[in-house]
């Protein structure tokens, strides 16, 4: 059985609470002794970079009080093929 990475446990909690924020205290309560809370900033960094999930911090002044998954940015998807793509494909096959 594959070992579950620590940041995946944090990600699961953030996904369950989405779109609401999860406070540090709630994270500590839900994770129990599975995760060392002094490393929470590292786990959030891993969620952002390894899982490619945008996470926002909720601050009170300079102190981070909660985390939440940011709203995804909609990127328009087009099926149209540009003229340059057609030219490159034709040149490659010729």
Residue 2 is predicted with a pLDDT of 66
Quote the distance between the C-alpha of residue 24 and its chain's center.
Answer: 17
CATH number, domain with residue 29: 1.10.10.10
Residue 70 is predicted with a pLDDT of 86
Tell whether the model's pLDDT for residue 10 goes beyond 80. yes
CA distances from 69 to 15, 19, 21, 41, 42 (A): 7, 7, 8, 14, 16
pTM greater than the 0.85 cutoff: no
What is the mean predicted confidence (pLDDT) over 16-25? Answer: 88
List pLDDT tens digits, range 37-89: 888 888 899 988 888 889 999 999 999 999 999 876 555 555 555 566 666 66
Tell me the residue range of the domain where 94 lies.
1-94
Count of domains forming the chain: 1
CB atoms within 10 A of CB 35: 18
Q: Are 54 and 69 in contact (CB under 8 A)?
A: yes
DSSP state of 94: -
């Amino acid at each position: 059985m594959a070992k579950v990475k620590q940041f995946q446990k944090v990600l699961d909690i953030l996904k369950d609470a989405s779109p609401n924020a999860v406070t540090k205290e709630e994270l500590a309560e839900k994770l129990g002794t599975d995760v060392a809370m002094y490393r929470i900033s590292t786990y959030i960094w891993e969620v952002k970079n390894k899982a490619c999930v945008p996470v926002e911090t909720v601050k009170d002044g300079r102190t981070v009080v909660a985390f939440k998954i940011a709203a995804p940015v909609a990127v328009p998807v087009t099926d149209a093929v540009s003229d340059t793509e057609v030219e490159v494909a034709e040149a490659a096959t010729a």
